[in-house]
Amino acid sequence: AYVLQSHEEDDRKVRRREKNRVAAQRSRKKQTQKADKLHEEYESLEQENTSLKREIRKLTDEMKHLSDVLKDHEKICPLLHCTMNFVTVPRPDALTSCLPR
């Protein structure tokens, strides 16, 4: 009876070890998949960040250009030179002279 009981305990230990080994494999695989996913997400965010920085530079350059164009225009704009500008509606011919043709 003792030999039979000892053999059953050995079988249980073997099954428990195998079950533990499989669980450990699953856990390592899950960790690896999680790390891979995080790495992909990181790469994607880096690309998006680079793209957004490029867009910021482009928009900043455009804003500077438009600001310069506006400053140049303000120097010659009849609407801004009119002394009655804040009291009356500008003349239609003054307005059309400021608009691009």
Quick check: 79 and 90 in contact, CB under 8 A? yes
Torsion over CA: 30, 34, 39, 40 (sign): positive
Instruction: Flag whether 30 is in a domain.
Output: yes
* pLDDT category of residue 8 using cuts at 50, 70 and 90: confident
Instruction: Flag whether 100 is in a domain.
Output: no
Instruction: Flag whether 34 is in a domain.
Output: yes
Quick check: 82 and 90 in contact, CB under 8 A? yes
DSSP 85: T
Task: Kindly report whether the global pTM for this prediction surpasses the value 0.75.
Answer: no
**pLDDT above 80 (res 101):** no
Interval 17-64: pLDDT, tens: 999 999 999 999 999 999 999 999 999 999 999 999 999 999 999 999
Structural domain count, the chain:
1
Instruction: Flag whether 91 is in a domain.
Output: no
Instruction: Flag whether 93 is in a domain.
Output: no
* pLDDT category of residue 3 using cuts at 50, 70 and 90: low
**Residue span of the structural domain in which 38 resides:** 7-77
Backbone dihedral region of 30: left (phi > 0), alpha (psi from -120 to 50 degrees) or beta? alpha
Interval 56-97: pLDDT, tens: 999 999 999 999 999 999 888 887 765 544 545 555 565 556
Per-residue DSSP letters for 25-71?
HHHHHHHHHHHHHHHHHHHHHHHHHHHHHHHHHHHHHHHHHHHHHHH
Instruction: Flag whether 32 is in a domain.
Output: yes
